[in-house]
Amino acid sequence: MSHSNDPNHVGFIGLGSMGFGMASRLIHCGFQVIGYDIQEKTRIKFSEAGGSTADSPRAVVELSQCQVLVVMVATAEQAFDVLFDKDSGAAVRLPRDAIVLLCITAAPDDATRISHSMSKDLDRGDVMVLDCPVSGGANRAADGSLSILYSGGDEIPDHAIRVVEALSAHRFHVPGPAGSAFALKMIHQILVGVHIVAAVETTGLAMLAGMDLESLEREVMASSAASWLYGERVPHLRDMDRPPYSSLAIILKDLHLVISAARKARCPLPLSTVTQQTFLAAKGSGLGTHDDCAPVQLYLGNRKPPVASDTTSTISAKTIQDLLIGTHLAAALEAFSLVDALGLDRNIFYKFVLTAAGASKVFAAFGAIDTNDFPPNKFEVAQQIISNLIRALDAVENLQCPTPLCSQALNSLLATLPGHRQASPE
């Protein structure tokens, strides 16, 4: 049954782990949502949760006559297909002056390409296409506390803002053309990828050292080494029969996007590259269908972690914290280097990250740091972080456990902050 162009009617394409939570949240907030997912069992589940479903992206629009269409698929190519496929694409049936929210992680050029296809190829200049990437994971999607960036228009209609507000606790309008929000979210994924591998690498080390992971987690999260992703991933690593988190394929896709953009800008991303190679090694080891915690198997290999009482390892909670703090600082510097290389707003990026999955206490403490204008007090803190990282890596070498990411973090800090080369560890 067809509806009038009621702003409370929302079309939703892509009911995956985050999309399902987002669409369900809109229902909870009083929107009438018609959704589509390629998986029939997911559509059935959504119907049971109170939503309506359609059997194609085009049917979503035909049934709802929605003024706002949310696209929450895995890749830009999937977004292009659900909008413009000649047999099932939604775009040709959009009502006049409709708004499309692209809630995906994609390259800035993807937003330009989709906007161009909408306005030029379909002659639908009346349709506003906003890049509207989200961050926060499935739990925050379900309770409406996501962080969202959006760009592509200076004056966005109230009914579109209402949808964004229903989904998020933190919203950031990024000035500039279509793709500006995609660019900042893409760079944010540097922090996501590095923080995941840092958590995995240090947890693998802790396992081999026979440490109590639950106690270690509490100590890390109460210290300056805390990050949002450490708190999310370590319980999963500790108890691998928990439901899986985000897939390995998703973070590999995101890292490919950001590394490709950095190469075009001639901006080095050494930590991101080590992170990408770590995930690729896990995929090549037959773990490609696992979630993004899979690389822990690379650190453990065939070695069995000792019982805590049987080990005389010199690795302590302080060692783990120093590895994480140094790596988080190097990741923050790397992310800001690409923000600057692409001419983006570092203050919006900083505020967004504080509320998003890439947040860490180190990132919060150092602020929107500029290595060309490093405040003396923070320079001294960075010097101590480097000294602590050197000592931690020396201790790790005695255990003969690989820590490629944390080791690269030290190299990056020494290269980025050359004044530290003369600073000897205490």
Asked whether residue 192 falls in the same domain as residue 283, the answer is yes
Residue 313 counted as domain residue: yes
Residue 4 counted as domain residue: no
Residue 125 counted as domain residue: yes
Residue 230 counted as domain residue: yes
Asked whether residue 173 falls in the same domain as residue 187, the answer is no
Asked whether residue 187 falls in the same domain as residue 78, the answer is no
Q: Tell me, what CATH number does 390's domain have?
A: 1.10.1040.10
Range of the domain at 31: 9-178
Last residue of a domain, one of 142, 161, 178: 178
Q: Tell me, what CATH number does 38's domain have?
A: 3.40.50.720
Asked whether residue 289 falls in the same domain as residue 345, the answer is yes
Residues in the chain: 426
Structure tokens at 221: 């999260």
Last residue of a domain, one of 178, 205, 229: 178
- pLDDT in 10s for each residue of the chain, 426 residues: 344 567 789 999 999 989 999 999 999 999 999 999 999 999 999 999 999 999 999 999 999 999 999 999 999 999 999 999 999 999 999 999 999 999 999 999 999 999 999 999 999 999 999 999 999 989 999 999 999 999 988 788 999 999 999 999 999 999 988 899 999 999 999 999 999 999 999 999 999 888 999 999 999 999 999 999 999 999 888 876 666 667 888 999 999 999 999 999 999 999 999 999 999 998 888 876 678 888 888 777 666 555 444 445 679 999 999 999 999 999 999 999 999 999 999 999 999 999 999 999 999 999 888 877 788 889 999 999 999 999 999 999 877 788 999 999 999 999 988 665 444 444
Residue 2 counted as domain residue: no
Last residue of a domain, one of 123, 152, 178: 178
C-alpha of 199 from chain center: 15
For 400, left (φ over 0), alpha (ψ -120 to 50), or beta? Answer: left
**Which distant-in-sequence residues (6+ apart) come within 8 Å of 425 by Cβ?**
387, 390, 391
Asked whether residue 90 falls in the same domain as residue 237, the answer is no
Residue 3 counted as domain residue: no
**Domain count of the fold of the chain:** 2
Asked whether residue 65 falls in the same domain as residue 105, the answer is yes
Asked whether residue 127 falls in the same domain as residue 196, the answer is no
Asked whether residue 136 falls in the same domain as residue 204, the answer is no
Residue 1 counted as domain residue: no
Asked whether residue 267 falls in the same domain as residue 306, the answer is yes
Residue 346, exposed/middle/buried by CB under 10 A (0-12, 13-18, 19+)?
Answer: middle
Asked whether residue 31 falls in the same domain as residue 93, the answer is yes
Asked whether residue 28 falls in the same domain as residue 73, the answer is yes
Asked whether residue 243 falls in the same domain as residue 304, the answer is yes
Residue 165 counted as domain residue: yes
**Is the sign of the CA dihedral 409, 411, 413, 416 positive or negative?**
negative
pTM, entire model: 0.91
